[in-house]
Chains A and B, each alone.
Chain A
């Protein structure tokens, strides 16, 4: 089975722009989660989707949004980019997203905001 894929892998944007990141989960997985990783804050949960419904959202401003499509692929969007949004954005998928399941991570999208 193919793993979790994320596109693009690297991205450079300037302050004020917006960006859309994409995640394709492992085939058959219906839960997709997003995490932000920075040296200062570590790994922080952004949101989780299951069957196109957001079930949980982390403590991030409304500039961060996401969605999931009927084929379980997910996108996250960050509007009005700030320097502090520079980070590695990781997507993870699992079958149903329950707490005991393994979440499988993609390679991440590294976003640099100038």
Chain B
């Protein structure tokens, strides 16, 4: 069975500072990993995904994530936070039984 653990339910950063959101996965098969963002009163929007190939994945809005098999991690980063990055972020792993398993989510607040 696949599962995801997101470390830290809340992260607060200053505008312009590095954003780092941590995600560790457990999977018995090669994982397909996703990061989604959810703004208030909206659905989930895909930021980026890892399926195969390059381990450094670039996504929308300046986000990127690195797949590290040895550490079973898929941490999300953005070099410089913007006020518009305030949202909830979810890491997810795709399984062979047609579903996504999500982490608990990390809420990001950005201080001016």
Residues of A near any B CB (own CB < 8 A): 4, 31, 33, 35, 42-43, 45, 48, 50, 55-56, 58, 90, 92, 97-108
Contact = CB atoms under 8 A, between A and B. Distances in A.
B71 interface: no
Nearest to B46: A102
Given A99-B32, A107-B43, 5 more contacts: A58-B99, A97-B98, A101-B94, A102-B46, A105-B45
Nearest to A96: B98
A48 B95 CA distance: 12
A3 to B, nearest CB: 9
Contacts of A48: 98-99
B100 interface: yes
Interface of B: 32, 34, 36, 41-46, 49, 51, 90, 94-105
A80 to B, nearest CB: 25
Given A99-B32, A99-B95, A99-B96, A45 B101 contact: yes
B94 A100 contact: yes
A102 B32 CA distance: 10
Pairs A-B, 4 closest by C-beta atoms: A99-B94, A105-B43, A43-B102, A105-B44
A74 B51 CA distance: 27
Given A42-B105, A99-B94, A108 B99 contact: no
A100 B90 CA distance: 17
B34 A102 contact: yes
A97 B105 CA distance: 23
A75 B54 CA distance: 38
15 contacts: A31-B98, A35-B100, A45-B99, A48-B98, A50-B98, A56-B97, A56-B98, A90-B44, A99-B98, A100-B94, A104-B46, A105-B36, A105-B45, A107-B43, A108-B43
